[in-house]
Chains A and B, each alone.
Chain A
Amino acid sequence: MNPAESYRTGIPWGKILSLILLVIYLAFALIPILWMVGMSLKNPLDVMAIPPKVIFEPTLENYARLFLGTQYSQREVARTDFPRALLNTFIIAGGATLLSVIAGTLTAYALARLRFSGREDIAFIILTFRFAPELTIILPLYVVYRTLHLYNTYIGLILIYQMISLPLLVWVIRGYFEAIPYDSEQAALVDGYSWWGAFRKICLPLAAPGIAATSVIAFIFCWNNFTFGLLLGARETQTLTVATSGFISYEQVLWGQMAAASVVTIIPVLIFAFLVQRWLVRGLTFGAVKG
């Protein structure tokens, strides 16, 4: 990149050091995941082996137990209904994202295109939700939810998950709308479309890829959430993250199954992230950094 370097004769120290750093870092980043995958494929004896076994014979026992419900340990405490948790997480994360996309896109349009007093204040307030500790809201909501019988319901969780997805979607999609030149919309208006028509025909199609990608990112955030599901849900609405952490309890630690549960939890997310990795910077920084 730096032209001054195309003439370095001899050993390119800069490049070598960079490569070493990258290899070390990649190892650091990937080994835990690989170790986890490995652990999920170990039979219960290998899992507990001291010293830990690096070479072993893989088995799908743990996954079978997860999905078929049989447990190996003596105390058959079926604390987690894993397939149910998988379904729950899809429903909750999906529902929350969908709701946020609809509400958020409209708000984003208003913030991007329409001029009205209090605009920047509203935008800022939406942003501040992101920076508050989750428990500050969850704890009182715990009480509220129990009273309103929203505790342990899909609706209740989908509503509260808005705290995660809505600010993200509003801010980033606003950025996408702002990037669309106003001329195209203006032409549509002159042609006789109402603002809604112009919105549907011009803004939405142009911003669609960005909206889709950001929705996926919002979905990932919802999927990864732990505290909401922990405190506002119970057995019936248990999310994957809570279910996975349930394999470590005071009575026993089912490492193998926990590892398998973790792998199942992270696979969809990894796939989704790969698909939208081009948009990740914008999504993660709420559009503060373009591209």
Chain B
Amino acid sequence: MAQTDLNVVTTQKQRLRKTTFQNIQPYLLCVPSFVVPVFIVGAFFLGVYYSLTDFDLRYGIRNYVGLGNYIRLFTEDRAFWGSVWTTIRYALACLIIQIPLGLAVSLALDKVGAFGRIGRSLILAPLVIPPVVAALMWKIMMGPTQGILNYMLMGVGLPPVDWLGDATMALYSLVIVDVWIYTPFVILVMSAGLQSLPKTPYEAAAVDGASPLFTFWKLTLPMMRPFILIVLIFRALDALRIFDTIYATTKGGPMKVTTTLTIMGFENSFRWSKLGMGMACMIIAWFLCFVVSKRLVRLMPK
């Protein structure tokens, strides 16, 4: 990927010193892309400001309270640490299931041979539909009495499960939804990775007498590292930011078991109109994502 110096070429061609246009040209080109994000960054700082107030949507800004919201959250609010823990638990559970499952399916695909365009699209379907719709689908299927899942369970003699209503089960039901939606992403990336691996070392391994397991452990897995990392980064960050699916299904319940930081921020802002507090939650959520993304992106191969 040769980086080129367009400026040098045109300068040589014109035999002039760099014109002002050429100096600012790159920045000019970037301007359209920045008008919008500037807007967004502005909103971010505005949000930080709000988090330092006790802004109530019903009355407008009241007072500047400094870190008061944050202190309340960290010390008094019982739900806060619960939601932090819930957010982390959710992300971990998603990662632990999706990545090995996705890897296994992509290995299976590789072994069985390509699936063709249609097959691939079928596997990808859960990924490309709106997460909200996916969540609604599962909500239908997870209905306690009318849901098809319980129907199937009872059909084989197992007791029905209150998927979304049971306090211990609810979060994991949501994890199932997340697995359903996002495992295809893992599969897609892993398959691309597997296909990009060189083939001849595998011939050498066959001649050297390595068993499939030995080959996988010593060759395939290390060579897949960059792809596993990419998937890890994207999935970890997506899981930490999750909102759509939870809102559409449990809205944080039952009894706050599925309340993540993002849900908490939302509730504070719109249910209780306490935007200041809600923003504090969101800034903390943002900070969590920022820290995790910085550390993970450092590992990312480029």
- Chain A interface (Cβ within 8 Å of chain B)? 1-5, 14-15, 17-19, 21-22, 25-26, 28-30, 32-33, 35-36, 39, 48-52, 54, 99, 102-104, 106-107, 109-111, 113-116, 119, 122, 125-126, 128-129, 131-137, 139-144, 159-160, 162-163, 166, 170, 178-179, 181-182, 185-186, 189-190, 195, 220, 223-227, 231, 240-241, 244-245, 248, 255, 258-259, 262, 265-266, 269-270, 272-274, 277, 280-281, 284-285, 288-291
Q: Which residues of B contact A291 (CB under 8 A)?
A: 192, 196
Would A2 and B215 count as touching, CB distance under 8 A? yes
Give the most central of A106, A114, A125, A277: most B CB within 10 Å.
Answer: A114
> Chain B, interface size: which category?
35 or more
Q: Which residues of B contact A258 (CB under 8 A)?
A: 136, 140
Would A259 and B140 count as touching, CB distance under 8 A? yes
Would B40 and A137 count as touching, CB distance under 8 A? yes
Q: Which residues of A contact B101 (CB under 8 A)?
A: 25
Does B71 sit at the interface, judged by CB under 8 A? no
Tell me the smallest distance from the CB of A4 to a CB of chain B, in Å.
Answer: 4
CB-CB contacts below 8 Å: B273-300 with A: 275, 278-279, 282-283, 285-286, 289-290, 293, 300
Would B128 and A29 count as touching, CB distance under 8 A? no
Would A245 and B126 count as touching, CB distance under 8 A? no
Q: Which residues of A contact B266 (CB under 8 A)?
A: 135
Out of A14, A32, A190, name the residue touching B180 (CB < 8 Å): A32
9 further A-B pairs in the complex, CB-CB below 8 A; given A99-B36, A224-B132: A14-B212, A32-B180, A132-B289, A135-B262, A139-B265, A140-B44, A162-B40, A265-B129, A289-B192
Q: Which residues of A contact B29 (CB under 8 A)?
A: 106-107, 109-110, 114
Does B252 sit at the interface, judged by CB under 8 A? no
Tell me the smallest distance from the CB of A2 to a CB of chain B, in Å.
Answer: 5
Give the most central of A135, A136, A163, A289: most B CB within 10 Å.
Answer: A136
CA distance A72 to B270 in the complex (A): 31
Out of B108, B147, B180, B286, name the residue touching A21 (CB < 8 Å): B108
CA distance A178 to B302 in the complex (A): 14
Would A269 and B130 count as touching, CB distance under 8 A? yes
Q: Which residues of B contact A273 (CB under 8 A)?
A: 121, 124-125, 128
Would B107 and A139 count as touching, CB distance under 8 A? no
Q: Which residues of B contact A182 (CB under 8 A)?
A: 2, 4
Q: Which residues of A contact B222 (CB under 8 A)?
A: none
Give the most central of A32, A133, A226, A248: most B CB within 10 Å.
Answer: A133
* B279 nearest CB neighbor, chain A only: A139
Q: Which residues of B contact A50 (CB under 8 A)?
A: 145-146
Mask, B132-156, CB within 8 Å of A = 1, is 1110111111000111100100100
Would A3 and B202 count as touching, CB distance under 8 A? yes
Asked whether A224 and B188 contact (CB < 8 A) given A14-B212, A18-B108, A107-B32, the answer is no
Does B244 sit at the interface, judged by CB under 8 A? yes
Asked whether A226 and B131 contact (CB < 8 A) given A3-B203, A141-B43, A258-B136, the answer is yes
Tell me the smallest distance from the CB of B128 to a CB of chain A, in Å.
Answer: 4
* A262 nearest CB neighbor, chain B only: B133
Would B140 and A134 count as touching, CB distance under 8 A? no
Would A226 and B129 count as touching, CB distance under 8 A? no
Does B63 sit at the interface, judged by CB under 8 A? no
Asked whether A189 and B230 contact (CB < 8 A) given A116-B27, A135-B282, A266-B130, the answer is no
CA distance A223 to B105 in the complex (A): 28
Asked whether A277 and B290 contact (CB < 8 A) given A115-B5, A125-B37, A269-B128, the answer is no
Out of B130, B146, B180, name the residue touching A241 (CB < 8 Å): B130
Q: Which residues of A contact B78 (CB under 8 A)?
A: none
Would A136 and B133 count as touching, CB distance under 8 A? no
Out of A54, A137, A241, name the residue touching B44 (CB < 8 Å): A137
Q: Which residues of A contact B123 (CB under 8 A)?
A: 25-26, 29
Give the most central of A32, A50, A255: most B CB within 10 Å.
Answer: A32
CA distance A224 to B212 in the complex (A): 41
26 interchain pairs (CB within 8 A)? A3-B206, A14-B111, A19-B108, A19-B112, A30-B125, A33-B137, A107-B29, A115-B3, A115-B4, A132-B290, A133-B240, A133-B262, A133-B286, A137-B44, A139-B50, A140-B44, A140-B47, A162-B36, A224-B129, A226-B132, A258-B136, A262-B133, A262-B137, A273-B125, A281-B192, A284-B188
